[in-house]
Structures are given as structure tokens and as C-alpha cells.
């Protein structure tokens, strides 16, 4: 009863920030993302009737802290629906942990796939798998399918799921993730969702989003990079505005973040390079371009931030089961 799965993380173009239900990770609004081909998690799960408790290994180390507890609580949900057995779980990331890349998205998409795959039965439908991933971490539901994905907020566990909007080869986009800082976040994304949900600007944001989502989907469908980039950058700044002005305030931006944001705007506005950025709940900058422009942008980033690590992502595939087990 063992299975392994690999899943990409994803970057949201329209963000999930704020929840209507914290137990089931039901979001306040629909969101849209692209899978990140260079930011993947691989997880092996083995259900073992001889175990007296779950054994969780992250990056080769047994974990007994909150991270292990979160995985065990998630496995409790699966146990409640399937078989009452403990599991051995091992998980590794292709990118450095704790750097603000959404490892919970790739992590829970891979965990859901491996844990259900290990029962040796047919996996539930893809849409049902997105619900399973969402119950672990909201954004994980957008990592089950490949390419460009839309998460419909819904209003209960049944109606909140993701669907592929366009396959990975629809558009040759690149997301250059510049790892600006490795310091841990002062405000976790769970806390951030709580603060955002009660934020006075949130009601106004909800009114604006349906038209923005429609426009973004149009730009994606037509591969209109300028319209796409303008919407995505504006969305990132709106969400940062909510983070910054929350109580307490979440200041995820580091000096290195801000200097990159200025650089992207000057490369675009002064040098005419088609490039935009987005941000997540962290200091790293996601620099978005069409892939033909990626080499030139990498040169510029290297010059500006010579020591910064860069993850170069294309639109990545969906979660998949395979036989390269970690144990
Ligand atoms: O899935 P969570 O609870 O880690 O939330 C992640 C939220 C953002 O990454 C900041 C935005 C998003 O839509 O992925």
C-alpha cells in the first residue's frame, strides 16, 4: 500500500487571500494560477497496519513538530473516509524550503495524490482530487491539474474545486522567481487569511474581482501579454495593499523585493521590455515574461542581484503518480 506522486507549486495571477470557511479552506473568491515547472514536491506514502502512529519525514528528517501534526491531521481526514491505518510519509522539494515558494501547494497536491494512490484503487476523479488537495491547503487544489487553472470558490466543500483553463503548452510564459530572502515569514499565510477576511477593503475587492477575472481569462485565451501583465501586476499590488494595511500589518516586502519591482517597471517603461511582476505572501519576486525574453531578463536580474538564486519556471504539468519511491 505504497504510492509516490510529484506535483508542481503554482503562482496565482488572481490571488486567494481571505477565506469564508477555515475548516474546509473555502476561499472568498475565485482564483487563477499557473503551475511552476521548477518548483515541485515529491511524496511517498505507505499505509502500514503495523504502525502505531504516523511517521513523517521532510527532506529526509523525521518531523515531530507542527509540520508533522498538519500532515497527520490531514491523514485523519482521509482515514475518516477510507481505511483506519497509520502511514509513513516522506517528502522532498526541488526548491529550498522556507523561501516563500508555496511549498504547501505542491506539498498537499503531492500528498493527496500519493495518500489516495497508495490505497491501490482507482483515484477519485480529477475534480474530486482538487477538493482533496484543497482540504490540506487551499492553493494546493490548483496544482492537481496542469498549466493554467481556475479555482471556483463555491460555497461549500462540494462546490469548491479547480479546473484546467488552458493546458501548459497553450502559451510559452516564463516565471523567473527571484529568491530575495530566506528569513521566515513573520505572519504565516493562515494568519494572513484571517486578517484579510476581516479587512475593511475586502468587500470592495470582491466587487471588483469578477470583471478582473473575466478580463484576465480573455487575455490568457488570446495570449495578450500586455493586458495579462497589467492585470496581474495590479492584482499583486492590491493584495499587498491589503496585507500591508491589515491589523496586524504583514510587511512581506524586503528592500531587495522593492528594488526588483522598480527595476521591472523601468525595464518595461524605459527600455520597452515586455515584463511584469507578481508577488505572493513573501519577499520573493515572480518576474513574468514570454519565454523568448527570459535570457535577457536573467542577465539583467543577475546584474542587479548577483547572489540571488533564480528559479526559472514554465507552465508545469499536473500532479502525477509514479514508481520512483523515496523509500
Ligand atoms: O494555500 P495557502 O493557505 O498557503 O494560501 C496561499 C495564498 C497565496 O499564495 C498568497 C495566494 C494564492 O492564491 O496562492
Which tens digits make up the pLDDT trace of 244-282?
999 999 999 999 999 999 999 999 999 999 999 999 999
55-69, 176-190, 258-272: the lowest-pLDDT one:
176-190
Mean pLDDT of 296-301: 98
pLDDT score of 186: 82
Residues 6+ apart with CB under 8 A from 250: 186, 187, 191, 192, 195, 243, 244, 281
240 lines ligand 1 (CB under 6 A): no
CB 34 within 8 A of CB 11: yes
Task: Quote the pLDDT of residue 185.
Answer: 78
Detail the DSSP E strand segments found in 167-315: 173-179, 276-279, 285-290, 309-313
Instruction: Measure the CA–CA gap between 88 and 79, rounded to whole angstroms.
Output: 14
The helix (H) or strand (E) run that includes residue 229 is helix 225-244
**95 pLDDT band (50/70/90 cuts)?**
confident
Please tell me the total count of domains within the chain.
1
Residue 192 pLDDT level (bands cut at 50, 70, 90): very high
Res. 96: pLDDT tops 80: no
The answer, yes or no, to whether residue 101 has pLDDT greater than 80, is: no
CA distances from 235 to 40, 92, 271, 319 (A): 25, 31, 23, 27
Q: Give tens-digit pLDDT for 129-150.
A: 999 999 999 999 999 999 999 9
Q: Whose CA is nearest to atom 6 of ligand 1?
A: 139
C-beta of residue 138 within 8 angstroms of C-beta of residue 306:
no
Ligand 1 centre from 301 Cα, in Å?
Answer: 25
For residue 97, what pLDDT is reported?
A: 66
What's the gap in Å between 63 CA and the centre of ligand 1?
A: 23
Show the domain range for 4. Answer: 1-327
Cross-strand partners of 276: 288
Going from the Cα of 166 to the center of ligand 1, the distance in angstroms, rounded, reads 21
Strand, helix or coil at 136? helix
Mean pLDDT lowest for which of 94-103, 118-127, 315-324? 94-103
Here the cell at position 17 is 487571500
Mean pLDDT of the chain: 95
Cell of 24: 474546509
Whether 280 lines ligand 1, by a CB cut-off of 6 Å, is: yes
Cis, peptide link before residue 259, omega less than 30° from 0: no
The pTM of this model reads 0.97
User: The domain that contains 115 carries what CATH number?
Assistant: 3.30.230.10
pLDDT band at 98 (very low <50, low <70, confident <90, very high): low
Residue 171 · residue 55 · CB < 8 Å: no
Contact assessment for residue 32 and residue 165, using Cβ atoms and an 8 Å cutoff: yes
Q: What percent of the chain is modeled with pLDDT above 90?
A: 91
Mean pLDDT within 101-114? 92
d(CA 232, CA 264): 14
Name the pLDDT band for 99 (thresholds 50, 70, 90). Answer: low
Segment 70-98 mean pLDDT: 92
d(CA 220, CA 82): 39
Amino acid at each position: 500500500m505504497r504510492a509516490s506522486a510529484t506535483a508542481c507549486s503554482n503562482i496565482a495571477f488572481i490571488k486567494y487571500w481571505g477565506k469564508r470557511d477555515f475548516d474546509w479552506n473555502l476561499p472568498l473568491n475565485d482564483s487563477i494560477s499557473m503551475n511552476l515547472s521548477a518548483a515541485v514536491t515529491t511524496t511517498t506514502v505507505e499505509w502500514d497496519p503495523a504502525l502505531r502512529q504516523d511517521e513523517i519525514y521532510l527532506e529526509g528528517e523525521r518531523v515531530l513538530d507542527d509540520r508533522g501534526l498538519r500532515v497527520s491531521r490531514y491523514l485523519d481526514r482521509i482515514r475518516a473516509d477510507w481505511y483506519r491505518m497509520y502511514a509513513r510519509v516522506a517528502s522532498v522539494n526541488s526548491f529550498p524550503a522556507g523561501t516563500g515558494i508555496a511549498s504547501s501547494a505542491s506539498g498537499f497536491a503531492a500528498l493527496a495524490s500519493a495518500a489516495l494512490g497508495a490505497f491501490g484503487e482507482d483515484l477519485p476523479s480529477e475534480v474530486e482530487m482538487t477538493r482533496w488537495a484543497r482540504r490540506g491547503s487551499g492553493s494546493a487544489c490548483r496544482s492537481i491539474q496542469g498549466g493554467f487553472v481556475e479555482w471556483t470558490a463555491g460555497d461549500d466543500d462540494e462546490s469548491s474545486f479547480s479546473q484546467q483553463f488552458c493546458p501548459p503548452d497553450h502559451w510559452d510564459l516564463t516565471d523567473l522567481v527571484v529568491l530575495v530572502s530566506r528569513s521566515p515569514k513573520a505572519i504565516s499565510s493562515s494568519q494572513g487569511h484571517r486578517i484579510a477576511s476581516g479587512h475593511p477593503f475586502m468587500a470592495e475587492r470582491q466587487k471588483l474581482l469578477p470583471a478582473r477575472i473575466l478580463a484576465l481569462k480573455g487575455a490568457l485565451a488570446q495570449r495578450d501579454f500586455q493586458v495579462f501583465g497589467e492585470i496581474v501586476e495590479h492584482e499583486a499590488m492590491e493584495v499587498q495593499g491589503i496585507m500591508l494595511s491589515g491589523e496586524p500589518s504583514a510587511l512581506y516586502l524586503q528592500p531587495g523585493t522593492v528594488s526588483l519591482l522598480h527595476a521591472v517597471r523601468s525595464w518595461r517603461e524605459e527600455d520597452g521590455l515586455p515584463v511584469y511582476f507578481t508577488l505572493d505572501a513573501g519577499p520573493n519576486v515572480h518576474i513574468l515574461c514570454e519565454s523568448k525574453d527570459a535570457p535577457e531578463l536573467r542577465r539583467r536580474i543577475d546584474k542587479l542581484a548577483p547572489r540571488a538564486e533564480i528559479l526559472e519556471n514554465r507552465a508545469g504539468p499536473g500532479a502525477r503518480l509514479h514508481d520512483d519511491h523515496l523509500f
